Amino acid sequence: MNKLISRIKPEDRPIYTSLAFVAVILAIGTGYTLATQGTAPLLSPGYLLQQLQTGAFLGIVAAGMMVVILLGNIDLSVPWTLTAAAMMGAAVGGPMALPIAILIGVVVGLVNGLGVAYLRIPSMIFTLGVDSVLRGLMVAHTGGFAPQDQATPIMRFLAAERVLGIPAAIFVWAAVSVVIAVMLKRTAFGRSIYATGNREAAAYLSGIRTRLVIVGAFVTSGVCAAVAGVLLTGYSNKAYQGMGNEFLLPAIAAVVIGGTHILGGQGRYIGTLIGVILIVLLKSVLSIMQMPEAGRQVIYGAVIITMLLFYARGRKIVG
């Protein structure tokens, strides 16, 4: 066993660990449902497709979050970027709903990127401030009441309809995944993200326009949050205040669980993908076990802290 583990590359170990945890979660959930209900819904194709459909929202948010975390930054404005894009897109309606929602994601990403890259304000502080501003603007827009805006037909199709028996939301998630994976692995922008995340000063001296790289990463995160907001609106058939709040911590957890260093410079998208699946299945099993929401949040936080301690210890050893 030790020889087998030693053959696995260090950067791949979190991925294999996550896959092992996915298997454990499936086993625990299946054993619990067999013991209490006499069935094993977790293993049925229909149930797994349903989980992937709802997991698509988290997966798209996590894809954008990973790009920012690879730089050693974080985007805490995701909850209300998602909400603002969804609410304004649904409010406009018609053929302009999607472009308006995406535009809001781009604008928020630009503001975040400019604040972090050019004003040199720590991303945690700046994006948290932007999130608060967006929350205030949306409350002012609705007057503090629940908006009456309904999802457009295209939103409902992308989130809730099926194509060839597979939920369309999964295809959207797959398209986003391909774009992010290719961008990180095959483009100069992706290589610049890794270089900047490893050591920004060295990347700058090597000719990389690091500030533009940071802005581009935050724009990517903003667009991904907006796309998730569009899908969630279609799935819920309406936009509502605070609809993005439940995605922030799980998205960060999925990225970290998948092996992306929270300090930047290292990570593979396949790891984030597996991390999302792990979080979705974990949430499903905890729901089946009737675990309170507070308990779920404790588990997510504990996972992040554990992985942070693991990475910090690993960097000290390397150094």
Which residues are within 8 A (CB) of 247 and not within 5 positions of it... i.e. 6 or more apart? 57, 58, 61, 78, 79, 82, 228
Is the distance from CB of 300 to CB of 248 less than 8 angstroms? Answer: no
> CA–CA separation, 3 vs 8, rounded Å?
9
**pLDDT value for 319:** 31
Question: Which secondary-structure segment (H or E) carries 163?
Answer: strand 162-163
Side-chain-facing half-sphere of 55: CA atoms under 13 Å: 23
| CA atoms of 66 and 278, how far apart (whole Å) | 16
Q: What pLDDT was estimated at residue 318?
A: 35
Low-confidence ranges of the chain (pLDDT < 50): 1, 4, 315-319
Using CB atoms within 10 Å of the CB of residue 50, give its burial: 0 to 12 exposed, 13 to 18 middle, 19+ buried.
middle
**pLDDT given for residue 3 in this prediction:** 52
Whether the model pTM is above 0.75? yes
Q: What is the pLDDT of residue 10?
A: 64
Closest CA to 229 of 110, 80, 74: 80
